A and B are shown apart, each in its own frame.
Chain A
């Protein structure tokens, strides 16, 4: 995306498309078990086993095989579109000869999403269309007093536009 390019148009919304769920009822089952009831994995498996036995009587199938199946479907939801990533970090500097603190020995796992993509999505979100500033501004009332309200009305934002940035290459 270049500086002058408008945000990409939103994809047309199909109210019958429950992707990655196969149907409205499969989505609603997942939403109910995971979000509303917050059921444990073991209980989900138990419920689905009963459900499968009941459905089999009429030649049908339960909405999910087991809790893994349900979790995979939820993870496959494309909304937001910014996947989670992870990496591990550990200290690699000098250590004391004895009794080095635990944090120097430990490996830490960091989970994150690409901030640039997250912010691009935010800029493209039409929800903010009426509450959005494209450039810094200075607002004054009729008596000439400065009015501060949103971020772009502040001094920092103003300095970015009229200050050192203009003279840097």
Chain B
């Protein structure tokens, strides 16, 4: 059986109380399940992990 792996990632800012925290979640799904069930149920798109967010400096 062919199981295509789909992954996606985007920075998310979580505001909780006074602190502002940035997460970079990595999501995954398989290409076998149909589009209409991939996002409507939590288990069709799962959280794999949180990536590091290294900051670059503006000065050169």
Contact = CB atoms under 8 A, between A and B. Distances in A.
Contact of B54 (A3, A106, A152): A106
A113 B29 contact: no
A115 B28 contact: yes
Contacts, number: 94
B52 A89 contact: yes
Contacts of A151: 4, 6, 31-32, 35
A119 B4 contact: no
Interface stretch (A12-20, A23-31, A45-53, A123-131): A123-131
B37 A102 contact: no
Contacts of A125: 43
B47 to A, nearest CB: 8
Contact residues on B (Cβ < 8 Å of other chain), bracket? 20 to 34
Given A119-B30, A122-B44, A127 B37 contact: yes
Interface string A133-169: 1111000000000000111100011001100000000
A119 B28 contact: yes
A133 B26 CA distance: 24
Contacts of A135: 1-2
A62 B9 CA distance: 42
Contacts of B15: none
A106 B56 CA distance: 11
Interface string B1-34: 1111110000000000000000000101111111
A110 B26 CA distance: 11
